[in-house]
Amino acid sequence: MADTKQPNGHATRGRRASEVLIQLDERIQREENIFLFLPNLIGYFRVVLAIASLYYMPLHPRTCSLLYSISCILDALDGFAARRYNQSTTFGAVLDMVTDRCTTSCLLVFLASAFPRWSIIFQGLISLDLASHYIHMYATLTMGGSGQSHKKVDSSRSYILHLYYTNRTVLFLFCALNELFFIALYLLSFSSPLLSPSLLVSSDPSNPASTLNIQSHAQPASPARPKPSLLFTNPWSAGALEMARANKMDSTVPWILAAISFPVMAGKQIINVIQLVKASKWLGEGDVAARRKAGIVSGVRKSK
């Protein structure tokens, strides 16, 4: 009778361990939770910081600016983490864009209330920002396919948008300086009598000669001299806002930041217009191609 070789115990256990590890790895891949990816966790933290900055926005300009700025800076960090750990996701891209649009819109809403006479400009900037990015993303998904990223713009379609989205340095500088300009305007609403005439109210009520007549220059909905009894009735009231402005912040640094960032901010709005026009034309090309494929000309379907 021939002898049969028994398998080595160590080899058998090694094979079983390898099989277990392979099964565990496959299970992890099947159950991968993209909502807990590091870039998306950073995105959630950005949302928390943005909400906190909105809470402090009416009364605490320094705290608000700090929280808002950190939220904006983390926008670059989550992109780095996505590339570093191979965790780029469609959800993360959408979360990133939605967070950017919402935070900027909220800041512009505050600026519209702080400078009522210029509110139509801020309303226009909000509309342009939302419209251009929505149409661009919709055109990318519709015409480029569901797996196409809105940041992948062919240079033949638009060299400016291609450079804007593919060059990370250009993209970061435009986004950062665009936000910096609006933050500077926000700080100037608390510190610059030139933009907020109500800040010129004299702090010495016993000396009428030192009190400047600003009633004719005060902006609507921004009382220049709220009654002290009204200052603490509601922390979100116009009186509380004026009290915060009376903190006499220095406007030198905000003016410098606004002057430096203004050209880039203006360029960013031009890019938004280009993005809006190019995306609209792309959708139009798709409509024309679909109508030709369906045999529709001038609203009449061709007979076969």
Active site residues: 100
Is the CA virtual torsion 130, 162, 40, 27 positive or negative?
positive
296, β-bridge pairs: 301
Taken as a whole, the chain contains a residue count of: 304
Is the CA virtual torsion 18, 19, 24, 26 positive or negative?
positive
**Token couple for 125:** 């900037």
> How many CA atoms within 13 Å lie on the side-chain side of 36?
3
SS3 185: helix
Q: How far apart are CA 91 and CA 33, in angstroms?
A: 12
8 Å CB contact between 158 and 207: no
Q: Is 158 left (phi over 0), alpha (psi -120 to 50) or beta?
A: beta
301, β-bridge pairs: 296
Q: How far apart are CA 53 and CA 68, in angstroms?
A: 6
